[in-house]
A and B are shown apart, each in its own frame.
Chain A
Amino acid sequence: MKIFLNGKEKILSSNISSLKDFIEVILSNEKGKIIELNGKVIKKVDRDKISLKDGDRIELIQFMGGG
Chain B
Amino acid sequence: MKRTEVTSRYDKHIKIGHIGPEGQKAMSSKRVVVIGCGALGTNIANLLARGGVGEILLVDRDIVELSNIHRQVLYSEKDIGNPKAETAARKLIEVNSDIKVNYLIKDVMSSNISGIVEGYDLIMDGTDNIPVRLLINDYSIKMGVPWIYGGVLGTGGMVMIITGEGPCLRCLIPELPEQGDVLTCETMGVLNTVPALTASVQVTEAFKVLMGKKPMKGLLQFDVWENDFSVHGFKKDPLCLCCGGKEFNYLDEDNEEQITVLCDESVQIILPGTSEADLSLIASSLMGIKNLKVNPFRLEFEAEGKNVTIFRDRRIIIRGTSDKGVARSLYSKYLGL
Query: Which of A's residues lie within 8 Å of B, judged by CB?
Result: 31-32, 34, 39-41, 43-45, 59, 61-67
Contacts and interface: CB of A to CB of B under 8 A. Distances in A.
Contact of A63 (B171, B174, B182): B182
A11 B316 CA distance: 44
Interface in B221-250: 221, 232, 235, 237
Interface stretch (B15-23, B95-103, B138-146, B149-157): B149-157
A66 B128 contact: yes
A67 B36 contact: yes
Contact of A67 (B173, B180, B195): B195
B158 interface: yes
A50 B157 CA distance: 30
A6 B193 CA distance: 25
B172 A41 contact: yes
Nearest first, the 7 A-B pairs at minimum CB distance are A64-B151, A66-B185, A64-B153, A67-B128, A67-B40, A32-B183, A66-B152
B181 interface: yes
Contacts of B126: 67
A63 B152 contact: no
Contacts of B127: 67
B38 interface: yes
Given A32-B182, A41-B172, A59-B232, A64 B158 contact: yes
Interface string B105-128: 000000000000000000001111
